[in-house]
Amino acid sequence: MEHSDFALELKALTDDGTVEGYAAIFGNVDNGGDKIAPGAFVGGMTKARQSGRSIKMLWNHDPYQPIGVWEDLAEDAKGLWGKGRLVLDVAKAREIHALMKADVISGLSIGYRTREAEPDGNVRVIKKADLFEISPVTFPMNERARISAVKSDGMDDVVNKLKAGDRLTEREFELMVKGLGLSNAQAERAARIHLKGPGEPAT
């Protein structure tokens, strides 16, 4: 299995776990020297649909940590577009969902097997490939592989404050950690512990 990161534009991440955007942009060369050509995934995705094989959403390419599924994938002139769903009944998926909304995890990587490639100078151009999974990753190999836009109800203010380096209120901290699977009581206790310091937490 090969892994490559490409310029990513995640257009939406909703509270129900729906993920939508581009997992790969054509013409981008990753740090391993690979470039995906337009049309590379079409044949493989057609075969996957015909056989009933779904494209998995894994955590950091780990086959033992599935966190969702990509339900709709298609190529257009720009790249590989997809719409998927984090399975929020899974604890790890809830954790990744919260971290993505907070812009802590901001990269995706694709897992595929090359079927046809050709050299272009120092670059290997992937002409045909079978796509198996698309993973959120902690450290994407290609620095351009970043989540560029996240939209979620109830978390926008929290995300903006984190980006600005502002201190969260107890209520905002509780909202964030509940997304990691903590109960109400656990979230309240975590807020009291982690917001201690000089002065009182904002209210």
Q: What are the residue numbers of the active site?
A: 61, 109, 133
160's tokens: 């903006």
Burial 117-139 (b: 16+ CB within 10 A, else e): beeeeeebbbebbbbbbbbbbee
Alpha-carbon gap, residue 190 to 113, rounded angstroms: 43
Q: Helix (H, G, I), strand (E, B), or coil: what is residue 22?
A: strand
Q: Helix (H, G, I), strand (E, B), or coil: what is residue 45?
A: helix
Strands 18-25 and 107-120: unpaired
For residue 71, what are the contacts with CB-CB under 8 A and spacing of at least 6? Answer: 54, 83, 84, 85
User: Taking a C-beta distance cutoff of 8 angstroms, is the pair 138, 105 a contact?
Assistant: yes
CA distance readout (Å), 23 to 10, 49, 63, 70, 122: 8, 18, 19, 11, 24
